[in-house]
Amino acid sequence: MELSLILHRMAQIMVAIIGNPLVYLPLIGAWFITELYFIINCDEAHGHTYVMSTGIVLIFTACMISPLAVKNISWYPVELRTFVVVAMFLYGLFLVFFGILKLFPDFLAEFFGDPGHALVPSMMGILYIEHNIAFDRLTFAIIVTPVLILSVIKIFKRLSYRFFAPGEEE
């Protein structure tokens, strides 16, 4: 993949974020603050509450972008915009339902409760529907890179805490 294509897509995403900060900054800010919380408090797991809150974010994001998805088109189920909204909404409902009823085992709640599970599909959906930025692997890679970086930091912090927990001598 060409560097110019990557830089062009990054510029498109940055212009979208700067052009509509009331949509993107709360989403990015909530993700970043929650990730920092789990990095600092590495002894705490995400749990079922975070699974539910991730689902709620996805439901509200789907509701927010649904009028944009059908602005000049009908609700044709094969249309990618319609599919993105419906899939995001159903995934959110799935997470809320499983979070409330605590149907996930703890290790899956840890995975699905990660705040990146709300940020990545929400950003992909909003960028595609509101700004017509391609819904492809490149956009996904650009959005998921900071999520993965903070997730790796969180994992290393958690592992180091487990091996060198406060109060324990080596």
Q: Is it the case that residue 168 has pLDDT exceeding 60?
A: no
pTM to 2 decimals?
0.80
Distance CA 10, CA 39 (A): 26
Q: Where are the domains of the chain?
A: 3-163
> Which residue in the block uniquely carries the two structure tokens 């919380």?
37
pLDDT at res. 170: 46
59-105 pLDDT tens trace = 988 888 887 666 655 556 667 888 888 889 999 999 999 999 998 88
| Paired tokens of 48 | 């079922």
pLDDT higher for 112 or 15?
15
CB-CB contact of 131 with 71 (8 Å): no
Chain centroid, CA 7 distance in Å: 22
pLDDT higher for 122 or 77?
122
pLDDT at res. 78: 66
2-59 pLDDT tens trace = 899 999 999 999 999 999 888 888 889 889 998 899 889 888 877 888 899 889 989 9
Give the H or E element holding residue 164. none
Distance CA 53, CA 21 (A): 22
Taking only Cα atoms into account, the Rg of the chain, rounded to an integer number of angstroms, comes to 18
Q: Is it the case that residue 138 has pLDDT exceeding 90?
A: yes
Q: Is it the case that residue 115 has pLDDT exceeding 90?
A: no
